[in-house]
Amino acid sequence: MKKQTECTTILVGKNATIDGSTMIARSEDGGRTIIPEGFKVVNPSEQPKHYQSVISKQVIDDEDLALNPLRYTSAPDVSGENGIWAAAGINSENVAMTATETITTNSRIQGIDPLLTTEEGGLGEEDFVTLTLPYIHSARDGVKRVGYLLEKYGTYEMNGMAFSDKDEVWYLETIGGHHWAARRIPDDAYVIAPNRLNIDEFKFDDPDFVCSSDLKELIENYNLNPDFEGYNLRHIFGSSTIKDAHYNNPRAWYIHNFFNPEFGGKPSDQDQPFICHANRKISLEDIKWAESSHYQDTPYDAYGDQGTAEQKKTFRPIGINRNFETHVLQIRNNVPAEIAGVQWLAFGPNTFNTFVPFYTNITTTPISWQTTPKFDLTKIFWINKLAAQLGDTNYRVYGELEADFEQKSLAACHKIQHDTDTTVKDLSGKDLQTKLEAANDKMAEVVYSNTVELLGQMVDEGHGLMTLKYDLLD
């Protein structure tokens, strides 16, 4: 059984961020069943030499697995029942990848290039990071690698994925069973990509737009373009449904208005632009707030007091109980390359957690982030889930506690990161990695401790609010 994943992707070019870094982010969301996620380094000796997908049984030829894979970080599904699902990471050459964003399609392209069935084979979200990230040396390499794999092996699902290095951010979407398209995100722009086909304007004669070699011919031969001028891939290959209006578009609309209040529009608008510009430089905290959002200060906030019961259930929020892992992959330009890669990582529902900025030039990860499949309060994944489920019972009371916890934790992590950047500036090799791993452990310990403290505060505040109580003074 394939596990469900429905996510929200945020991409930011280097001239649109507060510190000149590139940032690609995604919340990895699942279905009704809890999917425990971990944090792992895959060292070259651990990279599969022969690969077979669990879901589709697709075997990857040895010729497509390089002899000398790079080390990379990942955020896998720790159960392994449906395969690796490495999700996101940064390799030893500071190239980042997040995969995948589940997207939409339409019957026109499916009638021409159908998605494979899992019985036929093909690749999916289970496979892409493992088969791509250890073999690429730039963001453009990532696009080329995935494009090659899609054309050779095909896919059984529609997905979007992103790549970045210190200079470029790219976003790729699969089209049908074997086709694909990608575009470079302008350095001064950002992107919000919910669960629909997102790329709109496409230029076939521009090097910042690339695709499978016959895509333009396919569009023309099968009369797929509904527009009088130009090529809009969302119109050609995507959807514009009632589900999009309630499930996908409102998420983009809300964050567009957060990044630029002049954006306006309506939550259900179908043609919100793919490439956008904020009214300020975007920070890590902005992305965390966006990935945690639930339509605050609108009638659609499940925790708010503005709307009716029906309005509160109208639109799917970004911050949701089904957030199991969220990351921001940051490649910094204001520090040496050896410490430039940072994987900001959070487990559990984003409305009740915090990011931790883990250095990625490492060979192991903090113990508390090595999640166990079963409930275990020594692991941050499970303690975050507990905090979220308790916090959800009375957001008016617990929300402020969480906000203080998040600010306190992010401040502590920023301080450790600043101190470490300075301390390790003259180190290299194993000495450097040892210091970075120690810094990661310290940040993990601080956040774990702060989360336990948050739980204690919730218990204190909630004691008198329980329904099951009786007092002679009541």
- Cα distance between residue 180 and residue 237, in whole Å: 10
For tokens 């690339």, name the residue. 210
Q: How far is CA 63 from the centre of its chain?
A: 30
- Of 28, 126, 46, nearest to 82 (Cα)? 126
- Percent of residues in the chain assigned helix, strand, coil, to nearest 5: 35, 20, 45
Q: Is the peptide bond before 100 cis (omega within 30 degrees of 0)?
A: yes
> Active-site residues: which are they?
7
Q: What pLDDT score does 4 carry?
A: 57
Instruction: Tell me the H-state helices in 306-394.
Output: 380-391
- Average pLDDT for the chain: 97
Q: What digits encode the pLDDT tens for the residues 255-298?
A: 999 999 999 999 999 999 999 999 999 999 999 999 999 999 99
- Cα distance between residue 57 and residue 75, in whole Å: 22
For tokens 């995948």, name the residue. 100
> What domains, with CATH codes, occur in the chain?
8-373 (3.60.60.10)
Task: State the pTM of this model.
Answer: 0.98
Instruction: Tell me the H-state helices in 154-246.
Output: 215-221, 233-237, 242-243
Residue 306: CB atoms within 10 Å? 13
- Cα distance between residue 390 and residue 352, in whole Å: 10
In contact, 328 and 73? CB cutoff 8 Å: no
Q: In the predicted model, what is the mean pLDDT of residues 386-405? A: 97
Q: What digits encode the pLDDT tens for the residues 218-256?
A: 999 999 999 999 999 999 999 999 999 999 999 999 999
- Of 1, 76, 131, nearest to 373 (Cα)? 76
The answer to whether the Cα torsion of 154, 158, 164, 169 is positive or negative is positive
Q: What digits encode the pLDDT tens for the residues 157-196?
A: 999 999 999 999 999 999 999 999 999 999 999 999 999 9
**408: Cβ contacts below 8 Å, ≥ 6 apart:** 450
User: Could you give the C-alpha distances from 234 to 74, 101, 215, 274, in angstroms and in order?
Assistant: 30, 15, 14, 10
* Confidence band, pLDDT 50/70/90 cuts, at residue 6: confident
Q: What digits encode the pLDDT tens for the residues 356-370?
A: 999 999 999 999 999
